[in-house]
Amino acid sequence: MKKILSTLIILALLTSCSTDGGLDSMTGGQATNEQTPGDKMGTFELPSVTANPGEEPSIGELIGAAPDSLQIKDVIVGTGATADAGSTLEVHYTLLSYSNSSLIESSWSSKQTATFPLSRVIAGWQEGIPGMKEGGRRLLIVPPSLGYGEMGSGPIAPNETLVFVVDLIKVS
């Protein structure tokens, strides 16, 4: 009897799982219409992001508990060169703290793009940027484990989840 019950529970769990691993087939990002695996509690939804090329993005309300895993969504799919792990990137970006939705930093404010090797930035970017194309805009929600962790950095609080919107200008 216990063996049958165990088999039925396992079967129910397997059939309730999606066949696509929770990926949103339209964007390549994580599914957002239900609680994302790893969420601390409640429903998590990716915020809206404006899709006006060449203009500073506007980021919508952050809803739900911060996710524990990297969340990726292409807002604008670029058509140029593709970023990979060894690329040097020129980007515009906006950075918010997830805990209070406050703006931490924006290259748009200074009207200066940032240029750096992808291999020299936080793990969330190293995992979330490859595959992005020039001309694209990507939303990244980076958990502390892939950001600045327990130490934080400057205006970034310890254990802060980070919300980035990245416009990829050039890949070299």
Asked whether residue 13 is domain-assigned, the answer is no
Evaluate whether residue 62 is within a structural domain: yes
For residue 114, the surrounding DSSP H or E stretch is: strand 114-117
Domain holding 64, by residue range, is 22-171
Under 8 Å between Cβ of 165 and 105: no
pLDDT digits (tens, 9 = 90+) for 70-116: 999 999 999 999 999 999 999 999 999 999 999 999 999 999 999 99
Residue 10 lies in a domain: no
Residue 65 lies in a domain: yes
Confirm whether pTM is higher than 0.95.
no
Evaluate whether residue 14 is within a structural domain: no
What token pair was written down for 121? 């930035």
Q: Is residue 49 part of a domain?
A: yes
In a domain, 92, yes or no: yes
Residue 42 is predicted with a pLDDT of 59
- Any idea what the CATH number is for the domain that residue 126 is in? 3.10.50.40
The answer to the question of residue 28 being in a domain is yes
Looking at the structure of the chain, the number of domains it has is 1
For residue 73, the one-letter residue type is K
Place of tokens 């994302």: 36
